[in-house]
Chains A and B, each alone.
Chain A
């Protein structure tokens, strides 16, 4: 999956999770209270299933999951590591 397809998928999913159309890439979904406490587990399941990665303990950092851009950057790092 190329970078733009990845971003589209992440953007669609996070927008759905946050219940907000046109979610800005840099908006912190946790900080702004757009998602409830269940979102993290849903998001991690989504990432593991769709991008065939394993979220490890070291990955547990809000900075990896808090926005569309953050998730894309995280996926890129994981893809590089797994490549």
Chain B
């Protein structure tokens, strides 16, 4: 369906992404999920194809993907493994932040290796006491000559177990600030976070900073703009990643359900010939279509720098991840006991869909932000 709205180049990319996902991701995703690990080989292949640096501009050595093409990549990979979209998500956020707001020195040191995928970036904002409520971050950056001393803890940080460079958010002189911290910095420890509900192979970790000394030249942008600008402009891409990954989950849930309906009989009739199952499939297919259109509209708005782009992206994330949860729940229902088996891909879709509703700002946070925009709009237009 989506194809008719894409340019020839976007269609070509989509074909390549889907082929890769079908060959290199989908067949192995259940195994990765069970082992709570993503093999270095698939990360290397993504890097080799240039897709880890896909969003970077061509002058930075990237492929210059537009927002829709980045979405398509997340959708195709998401149909194979939700967890692996976590890598595209956080790595791209760090890369874009440095490309957009880094100093020449920061770009020189980190941008090319990130674009090539020689190093992996991770986005470290969430704390136990502060997720979307980022004003209450407790991580502190304190003056220490020409350096900062970092103290604090971050948790549920995606792909942190294999990341080399972290974009860490905290307070500096009371101001929201973002700082680049390399993995090897003394005082910085990374502890694997196991047994999560979903995104099990997304290498989540807890980060501890104890008197970590980092040069002030590692501050990104300027103190005071950590949350307002740096985090939110990166999260635009994070939310696009999640919204489009949710399309992949919906696609996979629908395909698995239709295949099941075509092969499984109960009470002497194929599921495909039973009205209630057809109804489920019709609802899933309609929701997928609606989700595709809202995601496409959001990324097109982002590309045109439309004033409502941000609101559209929030809505796409909210809607597509909600529908992914609904579709995956129906897929489990259609699969019965098989769908409840942890080693079954349908169960993984269900668990990953729930994560998509929580990450990059919970859906409740999306609603608060969108609701505020709506109120502002009508308050103003009442003039």
| Contacts from A to B (Cβ < 8 Å) | 13, 15-21, 36-42, 44-46, 48-49, 57, 60-62
Contacts and interface: CB of A to CB of B under 8 A. Distances in A.
Contacts, number: 62
Contacts of A16: 376-377, 380
Given A36-B372, A40-B229, A57 B379 contact: no
Contacts of B309: 45
Interface of B: 101, 103, 134-135, 221-222, 224-225, 227-229, 232-233, 236, 305, 307, 309-310, 369, 372, 375-377, 379-380, 382-383
A45 B307 contact: yes
B376 A61 contact: no
A38 B310 contact: yes
Given A57-B221, A60-B229, A37 B134 contact: yes
Contacts of B369: 36, 38
B383 A21 contact: yes
A60 B222 contact: yes
29 contacts: A15-B380, A16-B376, A16-B380, A17-B376, A19-B377, A19-B380, A20-B379, A20-B380, A21-B383, A36-B369, A38-B232, A38-B310, A38-B369, A40-B225, A41-B229, A41-B232, A41-B310, A45-B305, A45-B307, A45-B309, A46-B307, A49-B305, A57-B101, A57-B103, A57-B221, A60-B222, A60-B225, A61-B222, A61-B224
B347 to A, nearest CB: 35
Nearest to A15: B380
A64 B376 CA distance: 23
A19 B232 contact: no
Contacts of B380: 15-16, 19-21
Contacts of A13: 307
B379 A19 contact: yes
A16 B305 CA distance: 17
Contacts of B225: 40, 60
Given A16-B377, A40-B232, A61-B222, 12 more contacts: A18-B376, A19-B376, A21-B379, A38-B310, A39-B228, A42-B310, A44-B229, A48-B305, A49-B305, A60-B225, A60-B229, A62-B224
Contacts of A21: 379-380, 382-383
